[in-house]
Amino acid sequence: AQSVTQLDSQVPVFEEAPVELRCNYSSSVSVYLFWYVQYPNQGLQLLLKYLSGSTLVKGINGFEAEFNKSQTSFHLRKPSVHISDTAEYFCAVCMIYNQGGKLIFGQGTELSVKP
């Protein structure tokens, strides 16, 4: 069965500290990988995506992620966080079938940046 696991439901961190949000997936078919961010009372916004090519992907707001096929992981990192990064972060995997893709979300990680 296909699944996405975000290993931490909550990550508290101090401003200007580095952060890593972890995501592992399980799939028997090819995948595309995404990280989305959701600020309070808003929809989801794409941070970054991996479709093919270089396994290190850079996104908006200084975030980056590395696709590791052998470990089936796609962890999100930022070297120095800001208060404004406080939000819910969702890892998502698109399983590629003949009929099209289906996006599966992880349970989310709440990033809380404290001054």
Partner 1 sequence: DTEVTQTPKHLVMGMTNKKSLKCEQHMGHRAMYWYKQKAKKPPELMFVYSYEKLSINESVPSRFSPECPNSSLLNLHLHALQPEDSALYLCASSQERRLNTGELFFGEGSRLTVL
Q: Which of 28, 25, 14 is nearest to 50 (CA)?
A: 25
Which residues partner with 77 through β-bridges? 20, 64
The residue among 45 and 55 lying less far from partner 1, judged by its C-beta, is 45
Q: How far is CA 4 from the centre of its chain?
A: 10
63 binds partner 1 (CB under 8 A): no
Q: Binder to partner 1 among 49, 66, 72, 77 (CB under 8 A)?
A: 49
101 binds partner 1 (CB under 8 A): yes
Would the CA dihedral through 54, 43, 38, 91 be positive or negative? negative
List the structure tokens of 80: 């120095």
Q: Which of 28, 51, 49 is nearest to 97 (CA)?
A: 28
Query: Which range touches partner 1 (CB under 8 A), out of 17-25, 44-52, 60-68, 69-77?
Result: 44-52
Q: Least distance from C-beta 80 to partner 1, angstroms?
A: 25
- Contact residues for partner 1 (CB under 8 A)? 32, 34, 36, 41-46, 49, 51, 88, 90, 94, 96, 99-103, 105-108, 110
